[in-house]
Structure 1
Amino acid sequence: METLLLPLQFPFMQNAFLVTMLIAPAAAMLSCLLVLRGWSLMGDATSHAVLPGVVLAYMVGLPLILGAFVAGLFCAIATGFIRDHSRVKQDTVMGVVFSGMFGLGIVLYTRIESAVHLDHILFGNMLGVGAGDLWTTVLISGAATLVLLAKGRDFLAHAFDPVQARMIGLRTGWLHYGLLALLSATIVAMLSSVGIILSVAYLIAPGAIAFLLTRRFATMLAVSVAAALLAGLAGTYASFWLDSAPAPTIVLAMTLMFLAALLRQSLRSRTA
């Protein structure tokens, strides 16, 4: 038993476990809405687009999370604007915008001298998470979770049928851009832990797993949060013994859970 609990004896592992539990609820609940709305690529685009904001914030001496949030929100709004005012489909617009923003971020990063290693921005640094990072994650993830719990049904109605949502009196414009703001904020909360690139797994996999296992939205939210928590804790724990980075190990755990859910659905379909 002492050997099994060995990872919990190190402060850096305790912080890693804690930050995974903090980011899981908001990311998992948001993942459900993105999957149901078909916005999975939006999470990918926004997560890549925050890089130039991080670099520019560093250059002018502003908090990195502020630059990341502004850049992510700009990317989301720009994608929607171009889609609504051109003949180009949304997935194409997202591909162009996020790759352009990501390329801009890399170019800007090569022009500055920074003590912050690019790998920590792209892939996170869960084992280096400090008290400041934990408090930032608590505030952002906590606020996002409360908003999603309070307005979850409104977001769901807008995700399935925006026209019907408008007819029943919902402010669809606020819901649309509010969801984009929550997406950007959640990515910022994950910036110091799982990083820019790997945050997309947190924004897609839990919702996809839950979608395969249930058809009720309330249950889907619960299953998604449970999947994110389980994958986060299991991946972090396994990374200690595998001597690997926690974030990619968590992503691998989510992938295995998704494959298991897919197999379960396939078997149920054959026996039905």
Structure 2
Amino acid sequence: MNLVDLLLEPLGYEFMVRALITTVITAIVCALLSCWLVLIGWSLMGDAVSHAVLPGVVLAYIAGAPFALGALVFGLLAVGLIGVIRDTSRVKEDAAIGIVFTTLFAFGLVLISVTPSQTDLSHILFGNLLGVSNTDLVQIGILAAIVAVVLLVKRRDFTLVAFDATHAHAIGLNPRLLRGALLGLLALTAVVALQTVGVILVVAMLIIPGATATVLTRSFARMLVIAPIVSVVCSAIGLYASYYLDAASGGMIVLAQGVAFLLAYLLSPTQGLVTSRFVARRRAKVA
């Protein structure tokens, strides 16, 4: 079997075509947002929101409502609760994040355990990429488009707030409102990625692409290009690998992204660990 056959064989199945389209959409929007999450230092916030949506998804299932609606409500609820605890008590933000996301995640696990269901709700935890329907795909596409458009249109404002909130306030921007908008977009993105890799692995898609781009370049503008490219390539590789190895698709996608980060960390032309040591030794010999 040649390379063309390897690439085309999975696409002979309609569910794999939908899975690939979903993967690409999710990879792009997660990678774009991850650039700001890494820049601001909101990795833990991404973890919190992605886990906090679990009870919303289960309650939506019980009510017969769209999963995305329940996930979005609880994602925004988590963001609000974190802000309230942080602003009205002596509890610091990292502790508030830990309290809210672990409590909501535990609530979701309890709901799963006590909810009678003809459906295996574990796919909420681990994703159900190969089970994406046309309706799911449309829903994912709409939410992803909203997130991507807002990020790209307001990219300069978001970036300025991330680098220098004081200067942003001085020129008339509202840093608190912009940070709140980013958190809202984070909740939407968690909903988008939920179908692909599940609640548990969403945080990886929200962090690894931006972290990889950070290692490969010092320019934020280039990060916004590199992160989606790396994310899409790795996600496609992970999906194909899961098909041929008969492995979990969400796990393979995240594993591929993790390997990409490791390679960038070691071999980046400007910041790679191996590359830097090689250059240092070469300079030492010349000197």
Same fold (TM over 0.5): yes
1:7–1:61: structure 2 CA closer, same or farther, 3 Å change rule? closer
Alignment equivalent of 2:276, drawn from 266, 269, 272: 269
Which moved further from structure 2: 125-134 or 72-81? 72-81
Structure 2 CA distance for aligned equivalents of residues 211 and 262 of structure 1: 10
Structure 2 CA distance for aligned equivalents of residues 47 and 34 of structure 1: 13
* Aligned-residue CA RMSD (Å): 1.3
Alignment equivalent of 1:51, drawn from 31, 51, 54: 54
Alignment equivalent of 1:153, drawn from 153, 156, 170: 156
Structure 2 CA distance for aligned equivalents of residues 241 and 34 of structure 1: 33
SS in 1 for 2:195: coil
> Does 1:65 pair with 2:72?
no
Structure 2 CA distance for aligned equivalents of residues 170 and 95 of structure 1: 30
**1:44 Cα deviation from its structure 2 partner:** 0.7
**1:62 Cα deviation from its structure 2 partner:** 2.6
Structure 1 CA distance for aligned equivalents of residues 207 and 139 of structure 2: 22
Structure 1 CA distance for aligned equivalents of residues 265 and 38 of structure 2: 15
Structure 2 CA distance for aligned equivalents of residues 34 and 231 of structure 1: 20
Cα displacement string for residues 62-85 of structure 1 (whole angstroms, at most 9, x for unaligned residues): 322111101011111211221222
SS in 2 for 1:46: helix
Which 5+ residue runs of structure 1 have no aligned equivalent?
none
Matches within 5 A, 1:21-32: 21-32=24-35
**1:118 Cα deviation from its structure 2 partner:** 2.3
> Does 1:224 pair with 2:231?
no
Structure 1 CA distance for aligned equivalents of residues 121 and 129 of structure 2: 14
TM-score by length of 1: 0.96
The percent of aligned pairs where both chains have the same amino acid is 49
Structure 2 CA distance for aligned equivalents of residues 186 and 86 of structure 1: 29
SS in 1 for 2:196: coil
Structure 2 CA distance for aligned equivalents of residues 202 and 142 of structure 1: 17
Structure 2 CA distance for aligned equivalents of residues 242 and 261 of structure 1: 25
Which moved further from structure 2: 71-80 or 227-236? 71-80
Which moved further from structure 2: 92-101 or 58-67? 58-67
SS in 2 for 1:170: coil
**1:112 Cα deviation from its structure 2 partner:** 1.8
Alignment equivalent of 2:141, drawn from 138, 141, 147: 138
> Does 1:184 pair with 2:187?
yes
Give the greater-gyration-radius structure (CA). 2
Question: Runs (4+) of structure 1 moved beyond 3 Å?
Answer: none
Which 5+ residue runs of structure 2 have no aligned equivalent?
281-287
> Does 1:9 pair with 2:12?
yes
**1:227 Cα deviation from its structure 2 partner:** 0.9
2:26·2:196 contact (CA, 8 Å) conserved in 1? no
Structure 2 CA distance for aligned equivalents of residues 116 and 150 of structure 1: 40
> Does 1:89 pair with 2:92?
yes
AA aligned opposite 1:106: L
SS in 2 for 1:219: helix
- Counterpart of 1:205? 208
**1:14 Cα deviation from its structure 2 partner:** 1.1
TM-score by length of 2: 0.91
- Counterpart of 1:106? 109
Structure 2 CA distance for aligned equivalents of residues 62 and 9 of structure 1: 32
SS in 2 for 1:194: helix
**1:53 Cα deviation from its structure 2 partner:** 1.1
2:82·2:97 contact (CA, 8 Å) conserved in 1? yes
Which moved further from structure 2: 161-170 or 221-230? 161-170
2:52·2:74 contact (CA, 8 Å) conserved in 1? yes
**1:58 Cα deviation from its structure 2 partner:** 2.5
AA aligned opposite 1:269: S
Structure 2 CA distance for aligned equivalents of residues 65 and 152 of structure 1: 25
SS in 2 for 1:202: helix
Structure 2 CA distance for aligned equivalents of residues 254 and 150 of structure 1: 27
